[in-house]
Amino acid sequence: MTRRRYDAIFFDLFDTLVHFDRERLPQIDVGGRTIRSTAGCLHALLQPHAPSISLAQCYEALAASWKEAERLRAIDHREVGAPERFRDFFGRLEVEHATLSPHLASVLIEAHKAELSKAASFPPHYGPLLRRLAAHYRLAVVSNLEAAGVLPLFAAVIVSDAVGWRKPRPDIFRSALVATGADAARTLFVGDRPAIDVEGAHRVGMDAAWVNPAREPLPEGIAPPEYEIGDLADLEPILGLT
């Protein structure tokens, strides 16, 4: 195999750099159902300000606001950020911002993110791998989601909330190129979703490595990635570092 020369490697976050396990989210009981959700911690924070709101109402409003955000995102890949989602959340609960403490929305958003981050795990062998890669390449994270605790090995962390657009829109990939000073033709993008990561990278002229541990077939209509790997450790032989 002829190795391509790269100056930069960009990564997707969830299910590429970190693994998200919904079973690690807090457990709540709603209407006789056991559910994994951040709604319990949000409800506890909201109670002193709006004691009439039940846990079930809180959960249903949170779920509905997320579904609405996903509907809007599907139209043109515009990002619907946390502040907008939580305005929808409060609206569904019929809670006016004026009745809340000035910083409550921010407190709830941070609590929500903190609970999500607890459900994310970072495989132990990725740390040494990324340190080896950082010695040779500019590294960046390009993500549709935020997460706490990203390692300080990355030249840039580009999050869709800040850019305003989600993958596979070229805007978010180009933001990473600008932030790192990298050339798309000499950048490898690593991600687990063909329609978002592989196709998005190809749109801006990057090569792509598809993380596909289950060896799923490539969806119809998507150009094959330059590489298909089962684990990030497979990057080292591709890059000639072993």
The domain segmentation of the chain, as residue ranges, is 8-20+122-239, 22-118
pLDDT tens, the chain, 242 aa long:
445 689 999 999 888 998 888 899 999 999 999 999 999 999 999 998 889 999 999 999 999 999 999 999 889 888 888 888 988 999 999 876 545 666 888 899 899 988 988 888 888 899 899 999 999 999 999 986 655 555 678 888 888 888 888 899 999 999 999 999 999 999 999 999 999 999 999 999 999 999 999 999 999 999 999 999 999 999 999 998 87
Q: Which of 41, 202, 164, 188 is nearest to 114 (CA)?
A: 41
The domain made up of 8-20+122-239 has a fold known as: Rossmann fold (3.40.50)
The alpha helices in 31-93, defined as continuous H runs, are: 39-46, 55-76, 82-92
- Angle (deg, nearest 10), helices 82-92 and 104-118: 110
pTM (two decimals): 0.84
